[in-house]
Amino acid sequence: MKVLILHTDPRDMGGVATFYRKLTDKFTLPVGHFVVGRRPGERGLPAKARRLLGDYGRFVRTLRESPCEIVHANPSLDRKSFLRDGLFLILARLARKPTVVTFHQSQEALLQRRGRWLFRRLYGKTNHFIVLSKSLENALRSWGFTQPVHREVTLIDDAVLEGFQIQRAVDERQRAPGRRILFLSRLHRDKGIYETLKALSILQTRYPDLGLVVAGDGNELQGAQSFVRTRGMANVEFTGYIRGEALISLFKSAYLYCLPTYYPEGLPSTVIEAMAFGLPVVTRPVGGIADFFKNGEHGFSTTSREPAVIAELIEKLLTDEALYRHISSLNYKYGQKHFLASRAALRLEQIYTSLMTPPPDGSPTPLRKRAKGEESSLTKAM
């Protein structure tokens, strides 16, 4: 094992666990996985304390007994994860292991809350940072960090797209008698669920057969269902949380993807997945979306939260067939180039290899600082 990756339980439905599930068989380097954080069925403070102490002990033994050369941590910026993984990094440095840290959020406000002094003590000697947005990279730079900072994206498993034919899918979507908008997300107010429903209500006055599939669970599920009933809206389906073949089928059959989120996103995996299936996207430029999404090319991005504005953007995709086909084809090709898990694994391995390769004289590997203006291999890929 050359690299030891710390992440949450692979049975977890969160973004970090999902990210590494997709990478499981894509690495060419020997990679080991070390589970941190809450386990399924864990209840009560005593159980959490036992688990945490046990994890630290197990980690020290793993570093001592395995040929691990690099430790890669994946903390979030919430207080518990931030402190927990910071202590793992201190143990790794005591064992003289180079470290890589990926922050799977882009909430620079959360970074500021952690405090510069504490952040430097826990994360200041990290050799490479990986972030999901330019804004978080800028926040790290503003605090004086000079280490390489790479930008990565969320992923789609290569196998999901096997056999998918974009032109055939576009033809079927164009011919479908009742076109369906897809809203796939946790159902929280700031994900834009009500803005999407209100936009649909506007559009259905002109396109009565237009439908919406709402896929996901959350604290606004009952509220959204009540909204639909109260307004007497037709053609709105709530699927609840879905995954696997049912999710793939939704991406294949939907006409476009709508996520007018104002949540402090990292980079929503659903936007990535929708684009990989050639769906035009209507969204807002938050988090990592703003770093790559080109308005008018990948779909439409608006700073507005007004349902009328969102409805207008959706209508452009309903009425302009040539534009729809162009965006669908572009998104599919862009996804093939940037979003496949196999490509992300290669980009990560470039970072790992830069920390492993000894100089010709056999002396310890120096930690190279990126020259001013130099882009990382991951950023270049974007």
Whole-angstrom distance, CA of residue 165 vs CA of residue 300: 23
Backbone φ, ψ for residue 12 (5° rounding): -70, 150
DSSP state of 159: G
pLDDT tens column, 173-208: 999 988 999 999 989 999 999 999 999 999 999 999
> What mean pLDDT comes out for the span 327-343?
93
% of residues, the chain, pLDDT over 90: 63
More confident call, 14 vs 37: 37
Strands (E), the chain: 3-7, 31-35, 70-73, 99-102, 128-131, 149-151, 180-184, 211-215, 236-240, 256-259, 281-283, 299-301
> What are the structural domains, with CATH classification, of the chain?
3-155+340-381 (3.40.50.2000), 158-338 (3.40.50.2000)
Confidence (pLDDT) at 250: 95
Tally of CA atoms within 13 A in the half-sphere of 281 that contains its CB: 32
Confidence (pLDDT) at 360: 52
Q: Tokens 């500021």 appear where?
A: 112
For the chain, give the mean pLDDT: 88
Give the type of residue at 9.
Answer: D
116, 145 contact by CB (below 8 A):
no
Q: Tokens 């094992």 appear where?
A: 1
pLDDT(305) > 90: yes
Sign of the Cα pseudo-torsion (26, 27, 28, 34, in order) = negative
Confidence (pLDDT) at 253: 94
pLDDT(21) > 50: yes
Confidence (pLDDT) at 356: 85
More confident call, 114 vs 207: 207
Confidence (pLDDT) at 347: 92
pLDDT(111) > 80: no
Tally of CA atoms within 13 A in the half-sphere of 340 that contains its CB: 16
Predicted structure pTM score: 0.78
pLDDT tens column, 217-276: 999 999 999 999 999 999 999 999 988 899 999 999 999 999 999 987 677 889 999 999
102 strand-pairing partners: 130
pLDDT(363) > 50: no
pLDDT(358) > 70: no
DSSP state of 2: -
